């Protein structure tokens, strides 16, 4: 594990990230007090679990949502016009 100052970390971030990618750990310290640790992330990003109805009660549509589009806007959706 490597311990570096904040100034060194700002100046050499790419080098420190390469060390972390190789499996190392880097502790960033303010003076002699550790304040942060750079560690490798998991191989696959963690995705939040999705489930049916997860947005129920958080979003809604009023009745105007289902109204037909005006002709000029409908033409744009169909690839016509400007």
Residues 24-48, mean pLDDT to the nearest whole number: 90
CATH placement of domain 2-38? 3.40.1620.10
Q: Is 55 left (phi over 0), alpha (psi -120 to 50) or beta?
A: alpha
Q: Could you tell me which of 58, 71, 67, 4 has the C-alpha nearest to residue 31? A: 4
pTM: 0.52
Residues 11-35, mean pLDDT to the nearest whole number: 95
pLDDT of 81 strictly over 80: no
pLDDT at position 82:
67
What gap in Å lies between CA 30 and CA 7, rounded to an integer?
A: 9
Domain boundaries, the chain: 2-38
The three-point CA angle 45-49-52 to 5° equals: 145
The three-point CA angle 71-77-82 to 5° equals: 80
What gap in Å lies between CA 70 and CA 45, rounded to an integer?
A: 42
Tell how strand 2-5 and strand 33-38 pair up: unpaired
């Amino acid at each position: 594990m490597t311990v570096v100052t904040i100034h060194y970390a700002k100046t050499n971030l790419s080098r420190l990230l390469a060390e972390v990618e190789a499996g190392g750990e880097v502790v960033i310290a303010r003076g002699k007090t550790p304040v942060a640790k750079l560690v490798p992330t998991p191989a696959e990003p963690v995705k939040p679990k999705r489930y049916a109805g997860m947005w129920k009660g958080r979003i809604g549509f009023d009745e105007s949502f289902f109204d037909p589009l005006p002709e000029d806007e409908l033409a744009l959706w169909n690839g016509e016009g400007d």
